[in-house]
Structure 1
Amino acid sequence: MTTEATPPVAGAGPRALARQRRRRAAVRFWRQYRTHRAGIVGLAALALFGMIALTAPLTVGSDVASVTGAPGRPLQSPTGEFPLGTDRFGRDLLGLLVWGARVSLLVGLLAAVLSVAIGAVVGITAGHFRGAYATVMMRVTDWFLVMPTLVLAIALATVMPRSLGTVVLAIGVTSWPTTARLVRAQTLAVESRPYIERAKALGGGHCHVMSRHVLPNVMPLVLAQTTLMVSSSILAEATLAFLGLGDPLVVSWGGLLQEAREAGAVSSGDWWYLVPPGIAIAGVALAFTLCGRAVESVLNPRLGVTR
């Protein structure tokens, strides 16, 4: 069932018209997005993970990560009191898993936003100015592309203090080249349109053209790329934490895997120490990927993504 577009309000100012257009665009986006079953499943899973992370202080409490006064025996198998067993310190693994969702999701989101922001700035400026500047920036981008992202992130995290900020920075500054390439290609396509020439002929400067004409046209691509980058950032954070390069004072899913490895959970068969964090990482990464593919399909129907 289709609904007719709301006609512009007579006498409305430019800002009111802009808000009205944005509302119509949001309605159209949601109407198309909800036709993607995989995207809806991913969105529901993300809502569940987000609710678990936000309510963690109320459901498990901040003292769940405390080593002193742990409620159970070390490496206790799952029981009615501890559904996922205990870790090597006797802490409830279910509570640690819930609390770790806060750190893993936060680091993944911040790292993805930083990565996409760097890539968008490089891509837009390189596509707009061209010439020697674009050549230099694209060669730098190519260098980052051929270098293994994880190796660069490990090297950066090794020489900097161990903290969540370091992890975010290490992931963000090493994973932007793909976004820069995509945004530059879109910028070149936008810059070739006639209204860009008219804006320049009417006296529009570089900042005006990039912020008022180029950026709104590349934002759908930036949004889709951000959604897809979150899953990669969460996996990268888990990898760095598993290698012992994360913040040792906070609980994350990758940190739980690293503690399980140090406790010898693999050789001793303590599956409850390894499986839940791994499933949580895979689940949230899959949810973000499903949402990202659905967003990409809505914003670019020519991709023909299967619903």
Structure 2
Amino acid sequence: MSFFTRLLRSPEGAFGMIILAALVLVALLAPILFPGDPLRIAGPALLPPFSDPALPLGTDRLGRDVLAGLMHGARTSLTVGIAAALMAIVLGALVGTAAGFAGGLIDEALMRVVDAFQIVPSFLLALAIVSVVGPSLPVVIAAIALGAWADPARLTRAQVLSIRERDYVAAAEVIGMHPLEIALKQVLPNALPPVLALTSVIVAAAILTEAALSFLGLGDPNVVTWGSMIAEGRNVIRSAAFLSIAPGLALVVTVIGVYLFSEALSRVIAGGRARP
């Protein structure tokens, strides 16, 4: 049975993949259905939903199309979530492999750095970095990744400590392979599967962190985000609650989908590793 078949047989996996597939489809269709700048004025201000076929979800206080903002916001959320997760996994895997394979003082030094990053809450670290450097999408992605790489590093180190004692690693050392080549070609690929299970969790956390930063006014002002849409709607929450409800629901559904997919992925990976 293939990996994706086992993933789809899980209710959590199937439901999570449906949500994520819909999110990806929305993100891909956004520039086709709503070309141009989603922050431009599209109609009268505070137009209620379903009152104009051309603006099905209405407009905000400045007359911007809410549906266009939601669809383009999905692109921003996916970009931030996936890019931050990849950066965190790559950095964590490299640091964890170096620490676990080298051992000794290198291991101690790298693990103290990991401890230092784990002490600081990831959101506060991202908040501090963005506040100092300035709000832009690359800075937000890097700030979120710096707050998320410590857990993959610690998990990778634990896997490497177990794998480096196996016979095929000893055989590679006997035939004269360079330690760096052994670490990257023999040890790291076998240590990655449990670490990759963290990817979905990091993606969900990154989406939430980006939304929180945008809500506080520390997101990229040149792109539309769900967090900034929620912040825009809070000023008229009594008269136009839909401005905050629509992006809020999109954010909740996205995070639920990512967490369901992550749960199913963890089970499938654990089941595969448990097989003889």
Tell me the TM-score normalised to structure 1 length: 0.84
Shift of 1:32: 1.9
Distance 2:262 2:165 in 1: 28
User: For each residue in 1:34-90, what CA deviation from the matched residue of structure 2 results, as whole angstroms up to 9, or x when unmatched?
Assistant: 2211101111111111011101111122233214xx31x222222331332211101
Which of the residues 73, 79, 93 maps onto 2:50? 79
Q: Percent identity?
A: 37
The answer to whether the 8 Å contact 1:56/1:98 transfers is: yes
- 1:297 and 1:208 map into 2 onto residues whose CA distance is 31
SS at match of 1:246: coil
Displacement of 1:302: 8.6
Displacement, 1:116?
1.1
In our comparison, the structure showing a higher alpha carbon Rg is 1
- Are the counterparts in 2 of residues 97 and 253 from structure 1 also a CA contact under 8 Å? yes
Equivalent positions of 1:146-161 (< 5 A) are 146-161=119-134
Correspondence for 2:9: 35
Q: Give me the whole-angstrom Cα distance separating, in 2, the residues matched to 1:28 and 1:249.
A: 43
Q: Which amino acid aligns with 1:29?
A: F
Equivalent residue number for residue 31 of structure 2: 57
What does 1:1-307 correspond to in 2, within 5 Å?
28-67=2-41, 70-71=42-43, 73-81=44-52, 82-261=55-234, 264-266=235-237, 268-301=238-271
When residues 54 and 302 of structure 1 are mapped into structure 2, their CA distance, relative to the original with a 3 A threshold, is closer
Uncovered stretches (5+) of structure 1, i.e. residues with no partner: 1-26
Give the Cα separation in 2 of the matches to 1:53 and 1:151.
29
Which secondary structure does the structure 2 equivalent of 1:265 belong to? Answer: coil
Give the AA of the match of 1:75. Answer: L
Number of residues paired by the alignment?
272
Deviations 1:223-276 (A, max 9, x none): 211122111111111111111111111101112112223xx123x342101111
Whole-Å Cα distance in 1 between the matches of residues 184 and 273 of structure 2?
27
Bigger shift: 245-254 or 27-36? 27-36
C-alpha distance in 1 between matches for 2:171 and 2:144: 40
Q: Offset at 1:303? A: 9.9
Moved more, 182-191 or 268-277: 268-277
CA drift at 1:143: 1.2
CA distance in structure 1 between the aligned counterparts of 2:242 and 2:182, rounded to whole angstroms: 55
What CA distance in whole angstroms lies between the structure 2 residues aligned with 1:42 and 1:33? Answer: 10
C-alpha RMSD over aligned residues: 1.7
CA distance in structure 1 between the aligned counterparts of 2:37 and 2:142, rounded to whole angstroms = 28
What is aligned with 1:18? none
